Structures are given as C-alpha cells and as structure tokens.
Amino acid sequence: MGKVTVESDISEKQLEQITRNLNSAGFEIINNRTVQLVEQIKTFAINYIYNNTGDRKLNFSTFLSSEMNLDYKYLSTLFSSVENISIEHYMINLKVERVKELLVYDEKTLNEITHETGYSSVAHLSGQFKKVTGFTPSYFKNLGEQKRKSISDV
C-alpha cells in the first residue's frame, strides 16, 4: 500500500519486468484512477478501524471526504460500482474482522473491544457481529482462529 512515481520514461519491456517482480512479491501496479481511489478508500478504512486513526468523533464518511478532498457521495458511488458493496458494509465487515481478531487474542473484555472498535454499546456490537457471522461474540471466541478472514478477503 504505497505509491511510486516514475519521473522518466521507461520502456514497455522495463515496465513488464517491474510488473513481474512486483507480482512475484505479492504486489500489483494500479494505474487506473478509479481503482486507485478505491484502494485509497480501503486503506483509509483499514487504518481507521485497525490503527484508530482519525477523529472518532467524526463519522467515517466525513473523515474520508475530508482526507481525500472529494465528495462522499462520489466516493461511495465509485466504491460500490467497483466493489459491489457499499462503503458502509465494507466498514461493518472490517469492524467485525477486527472484533474477531481481538476476541481470538483474548486480551480484552468485550467492553474494551466495543470501545476500541467504535461501537456505541456491547449490544450493538453483539447484534451486528451475529448478523454478519451468525455467531455471538462469546461463541465465536470459543471457535477461535479458524473463522477469521484475511483483510484482503473482506
């Protein structure tokens, strides 16, 4: 999740070699502006959920619009057209994956997890968690690691 700018012209052969090297390391070149914006949205969402970046007093739509300096309605439509899921549902899925991770670590109480992930209450977290996973948080905690997803699969 980075950005490289090439300041001089490179040949098609050089670009192919760079692409092969990046692909073999698990990276890809994104040179489509729409895909770049969607990847930026995902990066902001992941950082917002996992790294507690951003002002949690601001809802994510306001935060994202401010950070990207673009209208949220535009970003939302763009994201949905590429990902076939709304930003809101993507955020819910990310939050649930974060909750799963914290439950598996078993280092925090459900109250602490609720606060860390920005839910308004344990009941709200539990309800959303069950809706997405089909399990209560406590039941999932007993299942452990096997039901978690990679962030890239959210």
Sites in the chain below the pLDDT cut of 50: 54
**Three-class secondary structure assignment of the chain:** CCCCCCCCCCCHHHHHHHHHHHHHCCCCCCCCHHHHHHHHHHHHHHHHHHCCCCCCCCCHHHHHHHHHCCCHHHHHHHHHHHHCCCHHHHHHHHHHHHHHHHHHHCCCCHHHHHHHCCCCCHHHHHHHHHHHHCCCHHHHHHHHHHHCCCHHHC
Query: Is residue 63 within 8 Å of residue 54, measured between CB atoms?
Result: yes
pLDDT at 70: 95
Handedness of CA 29, 30, 36, 38 (dihedral sign): negative
pLDDT at 90: 96
Distance between alpha carbon 114 and the CA centroid of its chain, in Å?
Answer: 18
Q: What is the pLDDT of residues 79-93, one digit of tens each?
A: 999 899 999 999 999
pLDDT at 146: 60
pLDDT at 28: 73
Whole-number Å distance between alpha carbons of 91 and 111:
20
Query: Is residue 148 within 8 Å of residue 99, measured between CB atoms?
Result: no
For residue 46, CA distances in Å to 1, 87, 91, 115, 140 come to 11, 12, 8, 17, 22
Query: Is residue 30 within 8 Å of residue 2, measured between CB atoms?
Result: no
Whole-number Å distance between alpha carbons of 51 and 134:
26
pLDDT at 109: 92
